[in-house]
């Protein structure tokens, strides 16, 4: 159970976490709610999973709202902010977590696959940042999720790395544009994390090899990443902005 200090860290704050029906996003939603934030749990397809996240938050004494919105479409990114403000009257925190993973050689990627990766991973962040530019409260916080693949140059991750590299630059420029309003914007770059998206299609040997890239010889758990996000959206991080924080156990 969070300490009393942690439970008060985000009291009266409203957070949107995109792609938060499962995996890292769901853990971030739980962690921010545990720190006192009212959380908008965003999903695209899995309504039951999003509602389960909300049910757990509400049962623990928090407040949450599940909102279906595909942030790769600008209209739906706007709807997501509309729903948050309509229910909670403001938005203080935006966590750009929604994303898709593609592991394939550049030579084998189709036009449709490349467009899909850029639409969700890059355009989705652009659309939510554009909404946040005018609708996030002064003193707000933005965290965009990238990946250590932008540093490691791994084979088969060209499209994914390109999409996340763009996310990093968008977030840095956004940080400068809104800084005078006391808003901070940072990037978190996880290494391998024990989620369904990471494990899918990987052999036990591959997972072990990637785990050994970290100094601790393991893959991260979702809560390892969520704790970093919690710091970056708290008041304590007010002088940290435009930065890319590696949460990879030293892997990158």
Q: Which residues are catalytic?
A: 160
54-76 burial string, b = 16+ CB within 10 Å, else e? beebeeeebbbbbbbbbbbeeeb
Burial class (CB in 10 A: 0-12, 13-18, 19+), 5: exposed
Per-residue tokens: 242: 């435009």
Determine phi and psi for 212, rounding to 5 degrees. -75, -5
């Amino acid at each position: 159970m969070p300490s009393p200090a942690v439970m008060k860290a985000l009291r009266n704050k409203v957070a949107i976490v995109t792609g938060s029906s499962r995996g890292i996003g769901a853990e971030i939603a739980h962690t921010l709610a545990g720190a006192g934030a009212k959380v908008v749990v965003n999903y695209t397809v899995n309504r039951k999973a999003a509602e389960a996240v909300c049910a757990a938050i509400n049962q623990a004494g928090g407040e949450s709202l599940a909102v279906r919105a595909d942030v790769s479409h600008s209209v739906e990114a706007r709807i997501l902010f509309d729903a948050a403000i309509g229910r909670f009257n403001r938005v203080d925190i935006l966590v750009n977590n929604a994303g898709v993973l593609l592991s394939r050689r550049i030579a084998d990627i189709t036009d449709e696959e490349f467009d899909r990766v850029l639409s969700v991973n890059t355009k989705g962040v652009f659309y939510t940042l554009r909404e946040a530019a005018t609708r996030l409260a002064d003193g707000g916080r933005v965290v965009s999720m990238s990946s250590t693949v932008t540093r490691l140059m791994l084979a088969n991750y060209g499209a994914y790395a390109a999409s996340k590299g763009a996310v990093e630059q968008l977030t840095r420029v956004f940080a400068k544009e809104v800084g005078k309003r006391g808003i901070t914007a940072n990037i978190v770059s996880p290494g391998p994390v024990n989620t369904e998206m990471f494990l899918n299609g990987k052999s036990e040997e591959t997972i072990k090899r990637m785990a050994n890239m970290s100094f601790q010889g393991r893959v991260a758990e979702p809560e390892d990443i969520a704790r970093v996000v919690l710091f970056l959206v708290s008041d304590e991080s007010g002088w940290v902005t435009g930065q890319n924080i590696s949460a990879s156990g030293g892997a990158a």
